Amino acid sequence: MPLDRLVLHGLRNLQPVDFEPVSRVNLITGENGSGKTSLLEGIHILGMGRSFRTRNMRHVIAHEGEELLVHGRLAGEPPIPFGVRRRRSEGELEIRLAGERVGRLASLVETLPLQLINPDAFRLLEGSPAGRREFLDWGVFHVKHDFLEAWQRARRALKHRNALLRHGRMSDASLTAWEHELVHWSERIDAMRGAWVEAFLPVFEETLAGLLPLEGLRLRYTRGWDRRRSLAEVLRQGRDVDRQMGFTQQGPQRADLAIRLGKRPAIEVLSRGQQKLVVSAMKLAQGRLLEASTGRRCVYLIDDLPAELDASHRRLFCRWLENMRCQVFITSIEPDALADLWRADTPLAMFHVKRSAAGSGELLPRERQIS
Ligand SMILES: Nc1ncnc2c1ncn2[C@@H]1O[C@H](COP(=O)(O)OP(=O)(O)O)[C@@H](O)[C@H]1O
Ligand SMILES: [Mg+2]
């Protein structure tokens, strides 16, 4: 379900925004520093409870302001209002969903499945496994309702095991107990991740073929511990080394998606542009699989697409988004770089963020064509 209303208050330099109705494709242009990325950041906070630019939400609150408020409404019968508020004076995010106060961030994530494509996202292949695990777990989370619990329990067991490795005795019975717990939940996690990857691969391969034919590109899931041994065995036999290191060396916290071209890691052979297309295909495939398995569509946030993809790939990429009928927010510095990429019957709205002399940004509609 798409957003049909979006309200932003107290977000960085942006003047209050109340955007209604929100179109399927929303193109946002504006000069550097006008507030385009901030607008995407606001939607990201609405869907994820956090910014993609900073860990410190105080940085997102307008300098002179006391609080940040982001509110959205999902189209549907009935429409679902939801939102978050963050006061400068308080550490916590206040989350509301359908009129109720909720405590779990996961409720936001469930409500608004988001995919972000920005320069950091394009580093998915070269960066640490943490980013790829996050990508993987996003997919699993949205299709398996018990994934979050398994993940939280495994993390808790891992924390206790690590604490005992550092401070406890080797013979400690509680070490065995926590290992038992860790093994149980890790096996659940591994089974869910493995099943998700199996469903993901054909969708990814098809999407990639439509963007950039790359013979021999393979994506493989590695579970995070020795392939030939059970985790119980790995943990038992690894106690000495783990104790010296002060933490658990193997387990689902080390899972990864290995991406190779032929025999080599893809990152060693692909050009920067090719890497971006592989990441684009991964992100599109994530949304396609979500729809195929749950009937829900992602909202895509895409920051400065013209700076990232060349004209012909930009066109192919937008064609995928259009065929997926996903709601999209795309920013660009150049006013017209994105306007002619869409079919005439695609609901499209164009906005311009105007930067005032004092630095504030005002979101204004440009000529609009909604069919
Ligand atoms: N907390 C804040 N309060 C007010 N202005 C801010 C805050 N944080 C950043 N800014 C300003 O907001 C502007 C918008 O930045 P940004 O969204 O990155 O613009 P764009 O993506 O259009 O280049 C910048 O000029 C920046 O200096
Ligand atoms: Mg920007």
Q: Are 264 and 326 members of one domain?
A: no
CATH number at residue 2: 3.40.50.300
- Report which bound ligand comes closest to the CA of 34: 1
Condensed to tens digits (0 to 9), the pLDDT of residues 69-123 reads: 999 999 999 999 999 999 999 989 999 999 999 999 999 999 999 999 999 998 9
* Distance in Å, CA 370 to ligand 2 centroid: 26
Closest ligand 1 atom to residue 304 Cα is 21
Q: Is the separation of the CB atoms in 328 and 321 below 8 Å?
A: yes
- CATH number where 155 lies: 1.20.1050.90
- Looking from the CA of residue 61, the nearest atom of ligand 1 is 1
- 118, 303 contact by CB (below 8 A): yes
**Any idea which ligand is nearest the CA of 29?**
1
Same domain membership, residue 274 and residue 211: yes
- The CA–CA distances, whole Å, from 245 to 41, 163, 211, 325 equal 38, 12, 44, 49
- Ligand number nearest CA of 38 is 1
pLDDT of residue 369: 44
Q: For residue 323, what are the domain limits?
A: 1-113+297-371
Q: Which residues are annotated as a binding site for ATP?
A: 30-37
Q: Which ligand sits closest to the CA of 60?
A: 1
Rounded to the nearest 5 degrees, what angle is found at the Cα of 190, between the Cα atoms of 187 and 192? 110
Within 6 Å (CB) of ligand 1, which residues are found? 12-13, 30, 32-38, 59, 61-63, 359
Among residues 278, 294, 310, which one ends one of the domains? 294
- Say whether both 256 and 221 belong to one domain: yes
* Cβ contacts of 228-235, under 8 Å, gap ≥ 24: 230/183, 231/182, 231/183, 231/186, 231/187, 232/179, 232/180, 232/183, 235/161, 235/179, 235/182, 235/183
With cut-offs at 50, 70 and 90, classify the pLDDT of residue 370: very low
State whether 219 and 161 are in the same domain: yes
Which atom in ligand 1 lies closest to the alpha carbon of residue 39? 17
Q: Whose CA is nearest to atom 9 of ligand 1?
A: 12
- Into how many domains does the chain fold? 2
Domain identity same for 265 and 230:
yes
How many angstroms does the Cα of residue 17 sit away from the middle of ligand 2? 17
Q: Looking at the structure, tell me whether residues 191 and 255 fall in a common domain.
A: yes
Do 343 and 278 share a structural domain?
no
Q: Among 268, 294, 320, give the residue marking a domain's end.
A: 294
Peptide bond into 21 cis (omega under 30): yes
pLDDT band per the 50, 70, 90 thresholds, residue 232: very high
Tens digits of per-residue pLDDT, 10-23? Answer: 999 999 999 988 89
The answer, yes or no, to whether residue 207 has pLDDT greater than 60, is yes
How remote is the CA of residue 59 from the centroid of ligand 1, in Å? 10
Which residue, 17, 14, 9, 51, is CA-closest to 34?
A: 14
Is 367's pLDDT higher than 70? no
CA 345 – ligand 2 centroid, Å: 28
Instruction: For residue 273, name the pLDDT band (cuts at 50, 70, 90).
Output: very high
Q: Are residues 98 and 217 in the same domain?
A: no
Tell which of 250, 277, 294 closes a domain. 294
Instruction: State the Cα–Cα distance between residues 6 and 47, nearest whole angstrom.
Output: 12
Nearest alpha carbon, ligand 1 atom 24 = 33
DSSP string, 172-198: -HHHHHHHHHHHHHHHHHHHHHHHHHH
Q: Whose CA is nearest to atom 5 of ligand 1?
A: 13
* CA 31 / ligand 2 centre spacing (Å): 9
What is the Cα Rg of the chain in Å?
22
Are 256 and 276 part of one and the same domain?
yes
CA of residue 120 to ligand 2 center, whole Å:
12
Does 176 share its domain with 325? no
Does 213 have pLDDT greater than 50?
yes
Residues 127 and 196 in one domain: yes
The secondary element (H helix, E strand) that includes residue 320 is helix 311-324
State residue 371's pLDDT score.
36
The pick from 8, 9, 11, 13 for probing ligand 1's pocket by mutation, whose C-beta has the most ligand atoms within 8 angstroms, reads 13
Mutate-to-test residue for ligand 1 from 9, 31, 38, 362, highest number of ligand atoms within 8 A of CB: 38
Q: Torsion angle, CA of 109/293/318/6, rounded to 10 degrees?
A: -30
Q: Do 124 and 57 fall into the same domain?
A: no
Question: For 287-326, what is each residue's pLDDT tens digit?
Answer: 999 999 999 999 999 999 888 899 999 999 999 999 999 9
